[in-house]
Structure 1
Amino acid sequence: MIKHLNHNASSKEVLINRFATEAAELLEWLAQFGAEPSGGVTRLLYTEAWQQAQSALAKRMQSIGLFSYHDDAGNVFGRLQGTGKGVVVTGSHVDTVIHGGRFDGAYGIIAGIIAAAYLQEAFGAPQLSIEVVSFAEEEGSRFPLTFWGSGNVTGRYTTSTPPSIEDIEGISLEAAMHSAGFGKGSPTVGYANPVSDWSAFVELHIEQGSVLEREQQQIGIVQGIVGQRRYTFEVGGEANHAGTTPMSYRKDALCGASEMIVAIRDEAVAYGDPMVATVGRLQVHPGTVNVVAGSATFTLDVRHPEPEIIEVFCSSLQQKLQYIAERSGLILNSSQWMDGAPSLMNGALTNLARGLCDSRGLHSKLMYSGAGHDAQLIAPICPTLMIFVPSRGGISHSPEEYTKPEDLAAGILVLVDLLYLLAYKGERL
């Protein structure tokens, strides 16, 4: 199917070995930016570690012959210039969660760099330009928003009027952006190819689940990404002395929050798979051993592939939590700060990827993503596809996150084949 890339065992083996070595080396290299003694990585939006990583990636792109530039939000691009019009884009996000791993997001970026370098070496200039993107932010770990990087590319956000939000230290998004040198209307160049003109977008990512590993599949071809909502709930009670306040007199915010959290778990279990609901953060004030909690704040993350079910679940759940609060003499306030609609991937790209996997002898599986990704913002605008590779034990957002080099390489091989067909052969979608 692909000129100069024979589909025999030796050709496949040579490429897998090459890409495995390069992927391991580049992931190790990128993990130094934000590295922790525990082996984890913390690289939050606009922090020093983030700035170092983006700068290093730009230089790496330049070193393999890509033209590197950034936009006003801090997204970094590397372009392999084509001989004609159009651009095929690949990449992922550079930021991490707190105490995260070295594969989430980073893999998609280094895969793009490896693929672009190989294609240029083997075939020269493509017909359509190939761009590798390192999105500035996706996780929502520093500020209470997600997809800041791809959101700026797609028009969801703009640096001229950023959301009025702060991190836990009280630093605003706008202040952090300006401090890092962005948001001042001074990108290195404007978009040579606006997202509406992208011919295709392909994002490689670790699965962050255990399905591929359990089913012994090398490649996951993502059909769609679940929708998700995120909330912050504030439970207000009355701080009081732990020894002199009888149990019946108490307005214990932590007890109320705890009951709500259990109710959330029970409601999600009752709905059954694929509904999931997670309380990932709980903060208590004053947080003192001998004081009844006066307030408690917790987050809620809800995910499901069907928007109607998400709506019914969240509406019903909020009524139940309000009932718990009123019964306990507490005040409950909530704010929704994310509403990501489910997103389908492009059918033609999905079929193309599956055919390429078959031709390479790679075991693949059609699947849905339970995690949100930048691809879901791109999908409504241009043909988009996600490719998954296995995660050991399904572990992600952890220093224990790991994917075998040969599995990383298999994903890169599929990406190389896709980019060749799309950018060199002008495959129509």
Structure 2
Amino acid sequence: MVIDSFNSKELETLIEDLSEYGGADGKGITRLLFDNSWIAAQNWLRGKFSEKGLQTYYDVSGNLYGRLEGNQIDSIILTGSHIDTVVSGGKLDGQYGIIAGMMALEYLKTKYGTPKKTLEVVSMAEEEGSRFPFTFWGSKNIVGTVSEEEMSEIHDANGISFKEALKKAGFDFKKKSDEKNIEAFIELHVEQGGVLEIEKKSIGVVHHIVGQNRYIVTVSGEANHAGTTPMGYRRDSLNGAARMICEIMDKAREFGDPLVATAGKLELVPNTSNVVPGKATFTLDIRHIDKNIMGKYIDEIMAMMKRISKEMNLELEVEKYMDGEPVQMDKNLVEVIRNQCEEKGMNFRMMHSGAGHDAQVMALKVPTALIFVPSHKGISHNPEEYTELSDLVEGVKILIETLYKLAY
């Protein structure tokens, strides 16, 4: 298939127009689940879906669909992404994949007519967890892995309950009978990292999404006078934590890519210049595509932290607060996309995703693939988020090729 007359200017315009909903001059986009800007954005998209000749509908949980019905009405090939943003987010995270999906379906409908299998583009209600302490509301509802019970005690920062916001926006909790027959889900997304730009690639074909383990590490010693406490008598929690963090990073480099470890937050008590710190607390984020390798790394650094604590007469407490396993994308779909890239001479690479996406939730129940386009300087979740229009177009083109292969 040769893709001709693709309207790149329209792609750019649609992204800019959608960015007006929740946008603030120079401060990015803040579009939170079920708020006024979210409702307006979803309704604007519904109008655009209709203009493109797609049947439109919401599911009960707030996901919006544009449908190009095929000869096999119950065999659905789904594409799309999420419509919500982080606070002061960029113009591409999530919504690019929705606009791209809409344009891909319009292109296929115009050029090839009715598909064999039904095609749908979805604007998922939520992924980011920016308003409520819960992520992937949209995709979890599609695959049926969220219940009303687990949402019953969830509130936003203003004390509004999830249930109240859901009902006020006109939606409800999903029932099991609402599930549909999705044969494949393809998500197109900006990379949110710098690999593709650095390697001068336009397309990333994702084979795995990393697993994530997150911890809060508390090192306790004894707060004491900075001038009168000899070095040999100190129980310096910061010194211990610093030694631990250095060895954590050294060990991560020893294990090599794609393992990454981050100590992103550090808090001290009493946090005063002339007092030996009595308590140091730091966060630890560890990611890898292989849970066994990640487990081996974690075992080694846990043993190391215990050793340092004992040597320095410190107390150690480690709390795990996230345990997400790596997710593999569907091998057959990955091969389809790879073959299309090779046949069309696209500038691509195989890669993993270091960030979480709706694709990782969908993959638990549905054959799923994830496609990346570059992010300038790797910047995302930021008003400076940017991708060259030529790369955005390449993403839509490989999406069109893939959907044609699967549905026509």
TM-score normalized by structure 1? Answer: 0.79
Alpha-carbon RMSD: 3.7
Who is 1:91 aligned against?
A: 80
CA, structure 1 residues 244+38, in 2 after alignment: closer, same or farther (shift >3 Å)?
farther
Who is 2:90 aligned against?
A: 101
Shift of 1:285: 6.7
Counterpart amino acid of residue 106 in structure 1: Q
* 1:312 corresponds to which of 292, 296, 308: 296
1:336 aligns with 2:325: no
Counterpart amino acid of residue 107 in structure 1: Y
1:208 aligns with 2:192: yes
1:229 aligns with 2:217: no
Quick one: distance in 2 between partners of 1:245 and 1:179?
Answer: 58
Quick one: distance in 1 between partners of 2:398 and 2:281?
Answer: 44
Shift of 1:183: 10
- 1:381-407 Cα shifts (integer Å, max 9, x gaps): 222211111222333333322111111
Shift of 1:127: 3.0
1:60 aligns with 2:48: yes
Who is 2:254 aligned against?
A: 270
* Alpha-carbon contact 2:362-2:368 (below 8 Å) kept: yes
1:373 aligns with 2:357: yes
- 1:285-329 Cα shifts (integer Å, max 9, x gaps): 777888887766543321112110111222333343455556464
**Secondary structure at the counterpart of residue 28 of structure 2:** coil
Quick one: distance in 2 between partners of 1:217 and 1:337?
Answer: 32
Shift of 1:88: 0.7
* Alpha-carbon contact 2:221-2:313 (below 8 Å) kept: no
CA, structure 1 residues 69+243, in 2 after alignment: closer, same or farther (shift >3 Å)?
farther
1:80 aligns with 2:64: no
Counterpart amino acid of residue 139 in structure 1: E
Q: 392-401 vs 270-279, which deviates more?
A: 392-401
Who is 2:119 aligned against?
A: 130
- 1:27-67 Cα shifts (integer Å, max 9, x gaps): 22232333344443344445554444334334433443433
CA, structure 1 residues 129+360, in 2 after alignment: closer, same or farther (shift >3 Å)?
same
Quick one: distance in 2 between partners of 1:121 and 1:189?
Answer: 34
Counterpart amino acid of residue 114 in structure 1: M
Shift of 1:140: 4.4
Quick one: distance in 2 between partners of 1:395 and 1:194?
Answer: 36
Counterpart amino acid of residue 115 in structure 1: A
Who is 1:181 aligned against?
A: 166
Who is 1:348 aligned against?
A: 332
Quick one: distance in 2 between partners of 1:237 and 1:213?
Answer: 45
CA, structure 1 residues 166+412, in 2 after alignment: closer, same or farther (shift >3 Å)?
same
Quick one: distance in 2 between partners of 1:367 and 1:408?
Answer: 18
Quick one: distance in 1 between partners of 2:346 and 2:285?
Answer: 34
* Alpha-carbon contact 1:235-1:331 (below 8 Å) kept: yes
Quick one: distance in 1 between partners of 2:169 and 2:31?
Answer: 22
1:363 aligns with 2:347: yes
Quick one: distance in 1 between partners of 2:35 and 2:169?
Answer: 17
1:277-316 mapped onto 2 (5 Å cutoff): 277-282=261-266, 297-316=281-300
1:417 aligns with 2:401: yes
**Secondary structure at the counterpart of residue 336 of structure 1:** strand
Who is 2:373 aligned against?
A: 389
CA, structure 1 residues 32+332, in 2 after alignment: closer, same or farther (shift >3 Å)?
farther
- 1:245-295 Cα shifts (integer Å, max 9, x gaps): 958788776665555444432332232222101233445677788888776
Quick one: distance in 1 between partners of 2:41 and 2:278?
Answer: 41
1:115 aligns with 2:104: yes
**Secondary structure at the counterpart of residue 181 of structure 1:** helix
* Alpha-carbon contact 1:105-1:205 (below 8 Å) kept: yes
* 2:179 corresponds to which of 187, 190, 194: 194
Quick one: distance in 2 between partners of 1:35 and 1:237?
Answer: 47
Quick one: distance in 1 between partners of 2:366 and 2:163?
Answer: 30
- 1:201-234 Cα shifts (integer Å, max 9, x gaps): 1111112233322333222222222222233445
- 1:70-123 Cα shifts (integer Å, max 9, x gaps): 345433333223332211100112233444322122211111121123333334
Q: 36-45 vs 212-221, which deviates more?
A: 36-45
CA, structure 1 residues 409+184, in 2 after alignment: closer, same or farther (shift >3 Å)?
closer
* Alpha-carbon contact 2:260-2:287 (below 8 Å) kept: yes
- 1:106-150 Cα shifts (integer Å, max 9, x gaps): 211111121123333334443322221222333345555543332
CA, structure 1 residues 189+228, in 2 after alignment: closer, same or farther (shift >3 Å)?
closer
* 1:150 corresponds to which of 134, 139, 158: 139
Quick one: distance in 2 between partners of 1:254 and 1:44?
Answer: 38
* Alpha-carbon contact 2:154-2:162 (below 8 Å) kept: no
1:401 aligns with 2:401: no
Quick one: distance in 2 between partners of 1:52 and 1:250?
Answer: 59
**Secondary structure at the counterpart of residue 299 of structure 1:** strand
Counterpart amino acid of residue 184 in structure 2: A
Who is 1:28 aligned against?
A: 16
* Alpha-carbon contact 2:213-2:286 (below 8 Å) kept: yes
